[in-house]
């Protein structure tokens, strides 16, 4: 497994990461992992690698764009002195182009998204052992749907930045696309963006495979 024994993993993102976590308690109390993929990751690490004693901290904040995450990075993420950091961000950057275009809000385009990710990397890479850059997911059957197309464009930026900084890129969308060949998106989400437990399990599986957790023992 990539994660070293006794290390601290901070998982950052938006509502898909946050998933109702309790922010009133210190990290690693029962309700602080939320009800999503972070909790599934923690459960698997504890169950299948108990000897590794990995500390998992959920630092997702609902509604965050990449700009929001960049602005809180030092105070919310780096202040925790992580050994490893995972980042799943971008779905709100994409979504706002479609649900907020008439509100005259500041919209994040691809160049701004890239700049935000690079800023985060500049503040992180030299201080941690590895950054895991995860793509957000959209449970969408129609690959020509405009929001899906834009999300794929942002995914490409995530991969580009991961390669630029020699960090680990995790494609969470492809496993989603695969299961949607057999089951409707409503089996995994009610709004295409916020997963239920099966949807979060898919995201967690992408992460656990990427860190090479051995669950055969």
In this predicted structure, the answer to whether residue 101 has a pLDDT above a threshold of 90 is no
Q: Residue 79: is its pLDDT beyond 90? A: yes
**Catalytic-role residue among 7, 14, 15, 200:** 15
**Close Cβ partners of 109 (under 8 Å, ≥ 6 residues apart):** none
DSSP characters for 90-122? -HHHHHHHHHSTTTTPPP--HHHHHHHHHHHHH
H or E element that contains 42: helix 37-48
Q: What pLDDT is attached to residue 148?
A: 95
Mean pLDDT throughout 12-18?
Answer: 97
The whole-chain average pLDDT of the chain stands at: 94
66-71: average pLDDT: 96
pLDDT at 103: 66
**String of DSSP letters for 154-211:** HHHHHHHHHHHTT-EEE--HHHHHHHTTTS-GGGTBSSSSSB-HHHHHHHHHHHHHHT
Flag whether pLDDT at 104 surpasses 70. Answer: no
Fold annotation for 8-210: Rossmann fold (3.40.50)
Is residue 14 annotated as a catalytic residue, yes or no? no
> Taking 80 as the threshold, does the pLDDT of residue 33 lie above it?
yes
Q: Which of 152, 63, 155, 150 is nearest to 117 (CA)?
A: 155
Residues in the chain: 217
127 in catalytic set: no
| pTM (2 d.p.) | 0.93
Among 66, 93, 194, 206, which one carries the catalytic annotation?
194
User: Which pLDDT score, from 0 to 100, does residue 102 have?
Assistant: 66
Domains of the chain: which residue ranges? 8-210
Quick one: pLDDT band at residue 45, thresholds 50, 70, 90?
A: very high
75 among known catalytic residues: no
User: Which one of the listed residues 74, 99, 122, 191 is annotated catalytic?
Assistant: 191
Q: What percent of the chain has pLDDT over 70?
A: 98
The pLDDT of residue 106 is above 90 = no
Q: How far is CA 40 from CA 62, 102, 204, in A?
A: 18, 37, 6
pLDDT of residue 86 exceeding 90, the answer is: yes
Contact 117, 85 (CB under 8 A): no
């Amino acid at each position: 497994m990539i994660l070293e024994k006794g290390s601290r993993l901070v998982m950052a993102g938006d509502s898909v990461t946050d998933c109702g976590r309790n922010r009133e308690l210190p990290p690693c109390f029962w309700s602080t992992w939320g009800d999503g993929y972070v909790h599934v990751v923690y459960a698997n690490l504890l169950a299948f690698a108990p000897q590794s004693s990995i500390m998992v901290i959920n630092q997702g904040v609902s509604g965050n764009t990449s700009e929001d995450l960049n602005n809180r990075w030092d105070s919310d993420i780096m202040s925790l002195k992580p050994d490893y950091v995972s980042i799943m961000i971008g779905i709100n950057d994409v979504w706002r182009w479609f649900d907020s275009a008439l509100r005259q809000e500041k919209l994040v385009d691809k160049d701004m998204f890239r700049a935000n990710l690079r800023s985060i990397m500049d503040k992180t890479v030299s201080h941690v052992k590895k950054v895991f850059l995860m793509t957000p997911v959209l449970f969408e059957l129609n690959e020509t749907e405009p929001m899906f197309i834009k999300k794929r464009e942002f995914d490409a930026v995530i991969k580009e930045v991961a390669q630029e900084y020699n960090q680990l890129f995790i494609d969470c969308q492809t496993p989603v696309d695969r299961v949607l060949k057999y089951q409707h998106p409503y089996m995994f989400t009610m709004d295409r963006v916020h997963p239920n437990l099966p949807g979060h399990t898919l995201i967690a599986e992408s992460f656990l495979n990427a860190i090479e957790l051995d669950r055969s023992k």
